[in-house]
Amino acid sequence: MTSSARDTRFLLFDVFDFPGHYAQLDIVDPPGEPLISAILDEAQRFADNELAPINSIGDQQGCRLEDGKVTTPDGFKAAYKLFCANAWPSLTGDTRYGGQGLPDSMSLVLEQTLCTANLAWAMYPGLSRGVIEALESHGSDVDKQNFLPRLISGEWTGTMCLTEPHAGSDVGLAKTRARPNADGTYAISGTKIFISAGEHDLADNIVHLVLARFDDAPAGTRGISMFVVPKIDLDGRPNNVVCGSIEEKMGIHGNATCELLFDVARGYLIGEMNQGMRYMFTMMNAARVVVGFQAICLAQAAFDKAARYAVDRLQMRSLSGPKAPDQPADPILVHPDVRRMLLTQKAVIEGGRALVYFTGALIDKTERGRDETQRAEAGVLLDFLTPIVKGFLTEVGFDAINDAVQIFGGHGFIAETGVEQMVRDARITLLYEGTTQIQALDLLGRKVLMKQGAGLIAFGRLMEELAGECDGKLDDLAAGLRGLIKEWSDMTFALAAVVAQNPDELGAASVDYLFYSGYATLAYCWARMAVVAAADGEDPFMAGKLATARFYFKRVLPRAGAHKQALEAGADVLMDISDEALTNGASQTGH
């Protein structure tokens, strides 16, 4: 059993009790521990046997575009065919359309194994889930019948077409147009860029969810509508969707990132006109949780390599005396700073994984809670935690991968060890589905200040309850949690006052606030794990959990204080310098 598989079982069964959690949902036959374990085992077997061996192949070969058609790297198509044959795409799909009907959080078990083994490949089926969720939530019965069965089976895949060359993350600037056809469909024309899995040879058809605006639509985000635009139309004829180019990227070479040209392509309106932005967040919020997890998964893969290397690599002697006197040098594992890097990786990876599964349980409750109160309470917490999962975990996950490179030294900088590919592959997670800065503004501006801190207050109550569980057995962790609750609350109240006076304070403080919030939420996760581990501290695995929890509180959590000090410095230190002095007189025209 891999270390991540053992850790996942610990989270699913010991810390969060997912079988008990599922029994409290509106599910006819909730999955128990045997089924969950079987899914974990089989997913790991598929990832180990089919995806891991073609990961470096995908990186080396990349995708090829010829005559508007993309060919994926060797082995990708065969792996996808087997993936569908084993019914993995249907795991959490609606049973009315051929799905297995399992709770949404079970998809995280699958996501974890796939992304750890081969992120570029995993993105092809992964993007379909956002399309499925948008159609399930907002599509008409006809839309669902037309598209869901083949998306859920994996026969078709899906994409999200949001970004345009001139607009970037500002979707309100989108120029893609929708004009009505006589048959009730719509003619979609425009250009979308950075479309992951936008064209490929794995599936028979690709279903694009496209944001576009009508000619008379209001300006900005209020005038955006959502359409389904299939590559092959429902009548079997090619639609007017062409891949104009694929991006030459820093990483994830095995996934085709496309420029898509829509030239009066037939589209089908989803839901109501001018409601596309609201619908988009159905896709985006689920995708943001997954992207945060992707960074943690790649960090796990990097840690596994670094840990093995630290055991085997002999270099220098321990400062306190030889630890391997029969060898010409000691393994680098004995050196304190190598241990610091490995422990930091463990703390981030295992804490981050816990945060993702905790968030996954909240998603289940919002979708399948037995009463409105349960769904609403879960929704408040989920709303608050989503930008933290995406923004914070991608940042610290990427740092953890860089620590793996550092442990390898010069060998980490060359392709042979594989960790440099992980650095390149992971870098995109800080950018797509909304950059760290966008997540930070969303957290502080929308999820905290605009909502009067509802999510923070709810999470603070959970932290206070957990501190009570720590009393008497983990007093140091209890004190740390209580200190965080007060500091976090006081800091937020003070920020609200200064932002009300100067809106620039919001942008100046937001990223540091995101990081503070991330370190605080991971403290909660580590304390939850420590409470369970303390009950069986004699077991080496549990003892390791306790040791890592205390390392987190003593050596990682203090970073939150530095972010607090930085955000309290205010906006003036950012805005007082002139534009010309800041840019050293760089030309405003870019020449």
| Residues carrying an active site annotation | 433
- Are the beta carbons of 150 and 156 closer than 8 angstroms? yes
- Are the beta carbons of 527 and 477 closer than 8 angstroms? yes
- Are the beta carbons of 158 and 210 closer than 8 angstroms? no
The residue among 324, 317, 313 whose CA lies nearest residue 410 is: 313
The residue among 212, 274, 221 whose CA lies nearest residue 241 is: 212
The residue among 485, 496, 492 whose CA lies nearest residue 460 is: 485
Rounded CA separation 79/258 (Å): 22
DSSP string spanning 252-299? -TTS-EEEEEEEEEEEEE-SSTT-HHHHHHHHHHHHHHHHHHHHHHHH
CA distances to 393, 460, 573 from 567, in Å? 20, 21, 11
Rounded CA separation 371/394 (Å): 33
Please count the CA atoms within 13 angstroms of the CA of 35 that sit on its side-chain side: 12
> Whole-angstrom distance between the N-terminal and C-terminal Cα of the chain?
56
SS3 72: coil
Can you read off the two tokens belonging to residue 330?
A: 């000691």
- Are the beta carbons of 52 and 2 closer than 8 angstroms? no
Q: What is the DSSP letter of 263?
A: E
Neighbours of 182 (CB within 10 A): 5
* Burial class of residue 184 (count of CB atoms within 10 Å of its CB; 0-12, 13-18, 19+): exposed
How distant is the alpha carbon of residue 496 from its chain centre? 28
Provide the residue type at 519 as one letter: Y
Q: What are phi and psi of 304, to 5 degrees?
A: -55, -45
What does the longest C-alpha to C-alpha distance in the chain come to? Answer: 84
Which residue is associated with the tokens 């790991």?
44
Handedness of CA 128, 133, 138, 141 (dihedral sign): positive
